Amino acid sequence: MTRISPWVVAPPVIFLSIAAMFAFGLFRADPNTLPSAMIGKSAPPLVAAPLGDLTPVTEAMIRAGDLKLVNFWASWCGPCRVEHPNLTALAANGLPVIGLNYKDSEANALGFLKELGNPYIGVSAIDGRQSLEWGVYGVPETFLLDSDGTILFRAAGPVTQRVIREQLIPAMNAARP
């Protein structure tokens, strides 16, 4: 009886496994989006530090009212600067926006808001652990929450006009009766 060496079988098995993973990634419904395990779940409890003398984020802001956005941002984040006018416009049109400043110095975060304006109804500083509980990969990331704090939608990357038009507004329309 001939024995087959594991060194002969292993390379084709490894190759086929890697090929299957790539094929799965290529044929997803939308390969440009990162999936979020948080969609449909309640937003994690928030433990956030105040940022200067700005209104801090509270659990009531997250779990009460109508639809709202929760935006993870940082002063050192270039795409955060790009999306900021869009968040400001959404806030000016009546959509509450909550800001969670990610791994930033207080002085830099406050300088960013002083320079570009503060669209947030509440803004607080968070650490890396808090962002992980939300499933944040990096900044900017923005979540649409319903009236009780359930996560309905996640935008990984800057909230651009295209994201607003093609993803955020349809998600908001689907959430409203």
Q: Where are the domains of the chain?
A: 38-175
CB 150 within 8 A of CB 174: no
Classify domain 38-175 by CATH architecture: 3-Layer(aba) Sandwich (3.40)
| Mean pLDDT, each 10-residue run in order, the chain (177 residues) | 68 66 54 62 92 96 94 97 98 98 96 98 91 92 96 97 97 90
Give the number of C-alpha atoms closer than 13 A to the C-alpha of residue 174, restricted to the C-beta side: 10
SS3 133: helix
C-alpha 85/C-alpha 158 separation (Å) is 11
Averaged pLDDT score across all residues of the chain = 88
